[in-house]
A and B are shown apart, each in its own frame.
Chain A
Amino acid sequence: MVEERRILYEHLDVPDINTFDVFRQYDGYARFEKAIAEYQPDDISKMVMDAGLKGRGGAGFSTGLKWSFVPKDIEPRYLCCNADESEPGTFSNRYVLEKNPHLLIEGILICCYAMGIETTYVYIRGEFTLGKKMLDAAIKEAYENGYLGKDIRGTGLNVDIYSHPGAGAYICGEETGLIESLEGKRGQPRNKPPFPAVEGVFSKPTVVQNVETLCNLPFIVGNGVEWYTKMGPTYADTRSDPPTPDPNTGTKLYCISGDVNEPGVYELELGLTCSELIEVAGGLRGKEVKAVIPGGSSAPILTHYELDTRLDFTSLTLAKSMLGSGGIIVMNETRNIVDCLLNIMKFYAHESCGQCTPCRWGTPWVRDIVQRIADGNGRKDTITRPKFGVAENGRWGDTGETEEIYEDLDLLESVANNIANVDTMTWNTICVFGIAVSWPAVSYLRKFRPEFEATIREGKLVTLPIAEATVPPEENYAYQQRFVPKEFADLEQPSEE
């Protein structure tokens, strides 16, 4: 069985770790002191790049690369810490904020030092009242002890941290939505480019990082790059010739919920498989795994055929899904996929910000179609359309045969694909909310089509046995594209002749 590897969460349960004095006893701020004493700002950026740290918020974009886009000649620059944790199934940041807020402050300090940033806004979702209270108290303590404010520890470094409450909008977790919201407007995402790194909050260069990403920084600085890269797999990116390393290094705070015996946050090295994680979380509650959502509700679903998929950025991308924010939701054999999709689509229909037409109208439309199917009113029988193909006269045309189609299922896929096309990965919306809607809609439908068809046919919610409900791998487009990445170290190294 895979062991937990607690790094960010190591001292989470220490009593009073949220106070400055206790945090200091556990190496607190020592890593920041090491950073300012031993390294130049550019060294830190290079370390983060070499460590292969990928953003933990959802997109999995290389943090070092993001930092390199920030122009160094424009003042002031800002850091926005994204603590607007709203993705269904994700709850790891809440514990950091509530129990160990000083770790986040230390991460912010290191980032500010590396990037020459003086002002940081921590955008906390409005519902995290306790988290905000704890963070505010920690910020106050850090000011009192001279770790925030002007001329920190006599180094001439000035850093201010302010917490900024959100007000319950999911879309403010999108980085440009967050920036708009921070500026006191509706949280409607901006067109990119310009990217926030160039023109972000108050039209200045802005680094937007998730809480978990920032919390990784003290450990990279404190323990070194070599130590960090030993955790998690490094794959070979074969798109380039010769292959380049594609690091999935470090640990991830996996949030597991749904039908497992011990739901919670488990910090593990990246790269364990889905079934291993379920085992770590006390095993399945129920008889069999029907489906697993691997990265928050936006991620395409995995079937029981795919439980060997490794839960890291690269493997899940190749499996046509995503690690996202690491919120894993497990469903057992009693769950109805149509019902689950309805729940998720209600969420997206509610949370669409209303800026782009395909999303504003598409999300309620998709929800209504799924609602109709779940209510037993799915459209099925009336349409038997002519089957086109090579006709008797040898020409292309009406073959004279008819095929029965499930109108609502075709419509569902069509509407979802017109918000964002999951096959070409193009979206007709400004932000990736579009793809977050159509990914679940299309993947649930394609992978569990028999259950949708049965529900329409019977006129009521039908939960099929797993074997019947799931489309077998060989018939499913989504699987045909699937392949497993190779570890970089396993590649045959070219000989030097």
Chain B
Amino acid sequence: MSDELVQIETPFAFNEENQREFDELIGRYPIKEAAMLPTLHLAQKQAGYITPAVMKYVAEQLEVTVMKVKDVVTFYPMFFEEPVGEYVIRICHTLPCALRDCKVVLEHLKTKLNTDVASETNLAKGTTVDGKFTLMKVECLASCDVAPVIMVNDDLYKNLTPEKVDEILAKLTS
């Protein structure tokens, strides 16, 4: 049996806290489908990544087809269909950051974490062996004045140098 089928059989449901948040969300929109993005964010927060079971559950909650959910999940780069590390490191490599040497920071991160950069279709490529970090390049993070920047999960780190990267990684691994 393929992995995917196994995953479908592992059911997903919101925990109590998220269910409460979801109930509040759904009341904001005249149609249920409109709550798609916040619901998927919520589900991803709970499940770590969007499994087929999550899609099925979200589809049932929003009264749309699973295909519609899949359609949305594949469009937006912030939704993961594969497992990612505990800390997702997003490094901006667009022009303003490139002008401020984000390449040096990226190379440093790669050697430090001993991993490659994840691509959208292959997140495992950028995930460390211990599953703690996933390194991915993203487009402009709208912090060009403090470039180069990285985002670790929800936190933004500014004006990076290799030394600062060391500090951040030391703090996260301790």
Contact = CB atoms under 8 A, between A and B. Distances in A.
Partners in one complex: yes
A165 B34 contact: no
B140 A94 contact: no
Interface string B32-48: 01111110110000000
Contacts of B144: 88-91, 255, 257-258, 263, 327, 329
Which 5 residue pairs are nearest across A and B when measured between Cβ atoms? A184-B36, A167-B76, A257-B144, A168-B78, A167-B78
Interface in A112-166: 125-130, 160, 162, 164-166
Contact of B41 (A86, A90, A165, A202): A165
Interface string A183-223: 11111000000000000001000000000000000000000
A323 interface: no
Contact of B99 (A169, A182, A258, A265): A258
Given A86-B140, A91-B144, A167-B78, A257 B72 contact: no
Interface in A357-385: none
Contacts of A129: 154
B28 interface: yes
Contacts of B143: 91, 94
A95 B167 CA distance: 26
Interface string B97-116: 01110000000000000000
A165 B38 contact: yes
Nearest to A201: B34
B34 A182 contact: yes
8 contacts: A127-B78, A167-B79, A168-B76, A185-B72, A258-B96, A329-B95, A347-B139, A351-B139
A183 B68 CA distance: 12
B135 interface: no
B151 interface: yes
Contacts of A93: 142
Interface in B72-106: 72, 75-79, 90, 93-96, 98-100
Given A130-B154, A184-B34, A263-B144, A343 B94 contact: yes
Interface in A380-427: none
Nearest to B62: A184
A340 B142 CA distance: 18
A94 to B, nearest CB: 5
A168 B96 CA distance: 18
B141 interface: yes
Interface of B: 28, 30-31, 33-38, 40-41, 62, 64, 68, 71-72, 75-79, 90, 93-96, 98-100, 138-147, 151, 154, 156
A104 B152 CA distance: 27
Contact of A167 (B28, B37, B94): B37
B37 A181 contact: yes
B71 to A, nearest CB: 6
A297 B139 CA distance: 12
B34 to A, nearest CB: 5
B75 A127 contact: no
Give the bracket for the number of chain A residues in contact with chain B: 35 or more
A264 B146 CA distance: 8
Interface in A251-296: 255-259, 263-265, 293
A170 interface: yes
A263 B96 CA distance: 10
A258 B94 CA distance: 11
Nearest to B77: A168
B145 A125 contact: no
A91 B98 contact: no
B142 A125 contact: yes
Given A184-B36, A258-B99, A331-B99, A169 B94 contact: no
A297 B95 contact: yes
Nearest to B74: A186
Given A93-B142, A125-B142, A126-B78, 7 more contacts: A89-B144, A127-B138, A165-B37, A167-B78, A257-B144, A347-B94, A353-B75
A181 B30 CA distance: 15
Contact of A127 (B38, B72, B142, B145): B142
Given A89-B144, A91-B144, A165-B41, A127 B99 contact: no
B77 A167 contact: yes
A129 B147 CA distance: 18
B174 to A, nearest CB: 23
Contacts of A130: 154, 156
Contacts of A174: none
Contacts of A91: 142-145
Given A88-B95, A89-B96, A184-B72, A164 B140 contact: no
A202 B62 CA distance: 16
Contacts of B95: 88-89, 258, 293, 297, 329, 340, 343-344, 347
Contacts of B139: 86, 88, 170, 347, 350-351
A87 interface: yes
Contacts of B41: 126, 165, 167
Contacts of B93: 343
Contact of B75 (A125, A187, A202, A343): A187
Contacts of B30: 202
B50 to A, nearest CB: 11
Interface in A294-350: 297, 327, 329, 331, 335, 340, 343-344, 347, 350
Contacts of B35: 184
Contact of A162 (B28, B79, B90, B138): B28
A130 B144 CA distance: 17
A186 B72 contact: yes
A353 B74 CA distance: 11
